Homo-oligomer: A and B are copies of this chain.
């Protein structure tokens, strides 16, 4: 149990397990400070604005000071992507699995929509950050009384996570663009499509355009669209649970 193996660098970083120095000059910053400043910059000016120089300026320090706390910018990005899942999930207990997972998915989306840049940070490995694992735990918990075995639960949650990540990637930038210029997403988008899509090469799409689907609100409305797909996935999970429990009694 308490076999001490050498923990990977990312783990010690994300969990704040780097040994603190006893001698020498006192650090004027903490990893948490730096992460917070970087998140502030990203929230305000986008991920592209997050440079070591910019973050250091935000903290009133020189650029190179940051490298005493973080080995590279990639490490900072890793910290940011865990920090983005900030608020601890406050989910009601004792609800059925479907309500639980629905609230969970909405919760993840709500939190991450406040930090739209998360979708642009490349994923470098399996989740090990405390906030990531904390959310993961809550989703597993929601499946507690379904009778699924642990491996199936992980599969279901991974699928849900997959869906949510896709939702983020597809919807966040779109809804941002939509907010800035609604015209371009409604009629204008439909008309541009109509002009460029010919019925021969795109028969099915042409029918959709002809039916006027893209003329009003374009279906990239974040809530409606997310809910629809999410509902479909959860219907599938329900069927899966029934199959499993029917077989095992």
Contacts and interface: CB of A to CB of B under 8 A. Distances in A.
Interface of A: 1, 3-5, 7-8, 11, 15, 17, 119-120, 122-126, 128, 133-134, 136-138, 140-141, 144, 149-151, 153-156, 158-159, 161-167, 169-171, 173-174, 177, 184-185, 188-189, 191-197, 201-205, 207-208, 211, 213, 218-220, 225, 228-229, 231-237, 239-240
Contact of A122 (B3, B173, B225): B173
A236 B201 CA distance: 30
Contacts of A202: 133-134, 137
A115 to B, nearest CB: 14
How many copies the complex holds: the figure is: 2
Given A162-B229, A205-B140, A219-B154, A126 B189 contact: yes
Given A5-B195, A159-B232, A162-B163, 17 more contacts: A4-B195, A7-B192, A7-B196, A120-B122, A123-B174, A125-B174, A126-B185, A128-B196, A140-B205, A140-B207, A159-B225, A162-B170, A162-B225, A164-B166, A165-B170, A229-B233, A235-B239
Chain A interface, >50% SS class: helix
Given A140-B205, A174-B125, A233-B233, A219 B151 contact: yes
Nearest to A197: B133
A239 B174 CA distance: 29
B204 A8 contact: no
